[in-house]
Structure 1
């Protein structure tokens, strides 16, 4: 049998379309005329049938149109039909924002799916505040799923601008898109009360709306984000708010505001802030270790930008602890610094605190909660299943001014708003660190203090007393257990959990650059790459990606302490450090946590 070759010419297909386009422009060999809006378009029946399911069916063997010389398409505009015919004859689709509705209508009606896909991509690529509502309506009408989702997301992101400049576009938005937008987890720079007013205006503009639909629309609003004083007025703001379903949601929102200490563990979608990603909140600290500031800084890991919150800490604190539960910030203990006057000279008076303050970012409100059972500074705190644990620390005796270390642990019962005692550690400890892995608490390092020690400043401790000890406590159990000790004795360091491991890093004393990783399965520590220049008294947080961010702190330079502005990132998977940005000013003694914040 003779061999043969099968070869393909790409130019033939292009030439074939070019030939048909030339015949069409010259009106030669055309066997059918399409009419739209009084305009005639001579075409070739064979090319139409081979390119469109609509024409394939229209020119079938049993249809009346198969032999017709002229076919009227009254639902299409001349501009839309002309653009689709150009596409069928050339492969090029001429579309703009002005012609898009007519072109998409023609493409969908004539079942030219490649043209429909091009229109959908045109919508997705061109979305902005000026056209997102119009494009959402267009995508919803023609069932363009991807374009509709993208348009709805753009409406949510641009809601603040739309409410100020293009509210008429919002009032013409289709109800499916409006519900999707009101269901979004991230609507920047817009208060919930503004969304409620917009939804009620939409109902007035598009009414009358069936009760079922208006209930469904309003149920996507988050009434728990509205202040309690405003909820009563809302129930009378519109007849749609008086339905049993919506009134019940308003009642639940009022009940949530009255829950007091239990609010963080009673969060629901109705009361959750519309912020898809948490930001790092830097609480306290300052440019001097002796005089802490009351500042609150927010850091956005995506843009790497800092912003100051309008609110500030109720107290000047150092050696305090912070954590977040249910969208609330908790600030606990520490040493409260106040202005003093000794022999006519200004001084700083310091007293150890057991106070607990809770900050609600939704309403920019601080509330004093039940105080801890013990006054604590240089202690550690952690959160296990929405329960806050405060462990160890030290405090200054008011009568003798001596330092007393504590071995106690306590936890905060949010349901009752009370602190309760947990199992005592084997010995008093301060300057230690803690982390949570698999709902168990691990505590490392620190100084095993005595019940009373002589008065000394924060960092005048003998580092030879620092501990390598590593303790484990399952909150369901009753006792602390020892695990494999760290390879380095640490004080004033940090622990962090990422990718199933615990990381111990940096600290007050040499070797303060070293990092090690703990594997709970093998109960083993592994030394990692050290930071070139160590620091202490810094803030640290674990990001959602598992990387560690280190903010500011102090380091030794030319034999003296220097407060730094650097923000460092440690990649736990690659064991690599890098500086990603700088703080607005030098900062030491800050404490960090992740918290959803309004824009």
Structure 2
């Protein structure tokens, strides 16, 4: 025998409709619920089907199973009315004014679907004015998923909440767990650490019973990111900052601020901004009008967007840049200065100046100058020391000297000279060894070198390695996954690149570029090497370029991915982390 099952949705809905009619008429009601003198006739069967609380209560062995009137002590009459209406109609009337009473009745009576709808309502009706209240409600009634969503909203909009009066907006009434969630988060856009510390101090001061949370909250503040003057003032104003666990953090931050030149090697979680995103930066160089570049541009590789991060301290070309502890160093090169007799005219001079940029405070400082004026030289970082090698001085004389910058002492010291006086060479660090290649030597300025040398800080001397397969001048090198890559230099007849295996001491040719390119900037992110801007030959002329091409080392492939805001050449590139800004 065959059977066919037919389902009627209207019948299901009609059952609830009829139960609601029975309740309204008081017909077949077999129990009365009473709250604060207000009575609610109801039907045991529907209550038991909708509420785990009533299902357990109406078992045969309970006292309430035979009772005609059940008095509820933990809920309000309005909250019970709203939940009963939901049980009988499947419609739940919600508002911010009644949400607490509704949740109190729904959780007490264990009406699970009503609880879910309350949580959904809190999320869908979030705004700046009610988010802190909503977080407290979700926390009070253990709505974990709802609370997590609300806390993310508060984090993302904290910078806007701080623009209001803290008491009016509800931040000072925020529950302790949510406040701790905010403080430990790595993702708080557009909020300075000083503002976060001020919020915590006012939150603690708002309710004196919160002192039990002071150590947990204040130990999460990154005091190294708070300006020294502000930190000192708050330290003496608030006794809670002078308690032993917190006091040591504040003192360490003060020591950090007072050792300005040593900060790149003193970095820790306490001095690292939240919400950091790494970007490629372009420093110095010239435009297609042969004008020096003023802005330092930052490129977000994920969004493929450029922005002006700051401005250079000195307009410069043929310089070097490097990064230590997320501080940018700009070294040497040629700067534009006004003539003494005619201030409107500028000339370029070779400099020994060094500038350091701190992206956290958008602040420049000038460490010790190099021992030599250098242009068309190379620099790299080895064991937290900056090495500047070779180059040309203001009299166009080539250097063989190499100097190293000791950050702790703020001092440059000479080390072992290069085997030759040279300029236009490239250098890179791989496996704690510095490698230097190519360039032109003194007395051989019409001859470009293929030579490769290595320098180990422990050995303290230069060792000749296998030469490149192509002589290169003004080229670039990069190290990725224990392999060194050499890219195009100036006036190369072909667009070949090659890689070097330090263990095998061997060079291998790779897929060439489709276009010639020189005087470009280069940066490495992961397994991708970016060549940015530069010049190319067009109709027998050097023409600045605007495109950015990326080389994927795993696939040995090239791809054009983006363009510069303007054509640039002679730029120097590196990676720097900035606190990510949201769209304000």
TM-score > 0.5, shorter chain as reference:
yes
Residues 132-173 of structure 1: CA deviation (Å, up to 9, x unaligned): 323332332233444434433332332221111363332222
Mapping for residues 117-136 of structure 1, pairs under 5 Å: 120=119, 129-136=128-135
Change (3 A) 1:219 1:345: closer
Instruction: Provide the rounded CA distance (Å) in 2 between the counterparts of 1:106 and 1:222.
Output: 43
Structure 1 counterpart SS, 2:200: helix
Conserved in 2, the CA contact under 8 Å of 1:20 and 1:89? Answer: no
Aligned to 2:409: 416
Q: In the alignment, is residue 494 of structure 1 matched against residue 476 of structure 2?
A: yes
By how many angstroms is 1:570 displaced? 4.1
Conserved in 2, the CA contact under 8 Å of 1:404 and 1:453? Answer: no
Matching residue within 377, 397, 404 for 1:403: 397
Aligned to 1:163: 162
Aligned to 1:286: 286
Conserved in 2, the CA contact under 8 Å of 1:435 and 1:497? Answer: yes
Mapping for residues 432-511 of structure 1, pairs under 5 Å: 432-443=425-436, 445-450=437-442, 462=446, 465-467=448-450, 469-481=451-463, 485-498=467-480, 501-510=483-492
Instruction: Provide the rounded CA distance (Å) in 1 between the counterparts of 2:493 and 2:91.
Output: 67
Change (3 A) 1:415 1:341: closer
Aligned to 1:25: 20
Mapping for residues 95-134 of structure 1, pairs under 5 Å: 101-102=100-101, 104-111=103-110, 116=115, 120=119, 129-134=128-133
Instruction: Provide the rounded CA distance (Å) in 2 between the counterparts of 1:519 and 1:50.
Output: 73
Q: In the alignment, is residue 393 of structure 1 matched against residue 374 of structure 2?
A: no
Aligned to 2:202: 201
Mapping for residues 372-383 of structure 1, pairs under 5 Å: 372-383=370-381
Change (3 A) 1:524 1:42: farther
Residues 111-137 of structure 1: CA deviation (Å, up to 9, x unaligned): 455665665566566655454323332
Matching residue within 558, 561, 577 for 2:542: 561
Between stretches 227-236 and 515-524, larger displacement belongs to 515-524
Aligned to 2:523: 541
Mapping for residues 331-370 of structure 1, pairs under 5 Å: 331-340=330-339, 348-370=346-368
Aligned to 1:459: none
Conserved in 2, the CA contact under 8 Å of 1:472 and 1:483? Answer: yes
Conserved in 1, the CA contact under 8 Å of 2:381 and 2:387? Answer: no
TM-score of the aligned structures, taking structure 2 as reference length: 0.82
Aligned to 1:179: 180
By how many angstroms is 1:427 displaced? 3.8
Aligned to 1:532: 514
Between stretches 143-152 and 213-222, larger displacement belongs to 143-152
Instruction: Provide the rounded CA distance (Å) in 2 between the counterparts of 1:144 and 1:527.
Output: 61
Conserved in 1, the CA contact under 8 Å of 2:322 and 2:381? Answer: yes
Between stretches 23-32 and 367-376, larger displacement belongs to 23-32
Conserved in 2, the CA contact under 8 Å of 1:379 and 1:391? Answer: yes
Between stretches 95-104 and 270-279, larger displacement belongs to 95-104
Change (3 A) 1:549 1:99: farther
Change (3 A) 1:482 1:252: same
Residues 41-98 of structure 1: CA deviation (Å, up to 9, x unaligned): 73554x6556654444434454323344554545446776677678778988776767
Change (3 A) 1:496 1:138: farther
Change (3 A) 1:517 1:8: farther
Instruction: Provide the rounded CA distance (Å) in 2 between the counterparts of 1:268 and 1:79.
Output: 54
By how many angstroms is 1:420 displaced? 3.6
Aligned to 2:225: 225
**CA-atom RMSD in angstroms:** 4.0
Instruction: Provide the rounded CA distance (Å) in 2 between the counterparts of 1:51 and 1:501.
Output: 67
Between stretches 160-169 and 89-98, larger displacement belongs to 89-98
By how many angstroms is 1:404 displaced? 0.6
Mapping for residues 35-50 of structure 1, pairs under 5 Å: 38=38, 40=40, 42-43=42-43, 45=45, 49=48
Instruction: Provide the rounded CA distance (Å) in 2 between the counterparts of 1:580 and 1:41.
Output: 71
Aligned to 1:457: none
Instruction: Provide the rounded CA distance (Å) in 1 between the counterparts of 2:509 and 2:106.
Output: 63
Conserved in 1, the CA contact under 8 Å of 2:440 and 2:473? Answer: no
Structure 2 unpaired stretches of 5+:
none
By how many angstroms is 1:177 displaced? 1.8
Change (3 A) 1:427 1:107: farther
Structure 1 unpaired stretches of 5+:
455-461
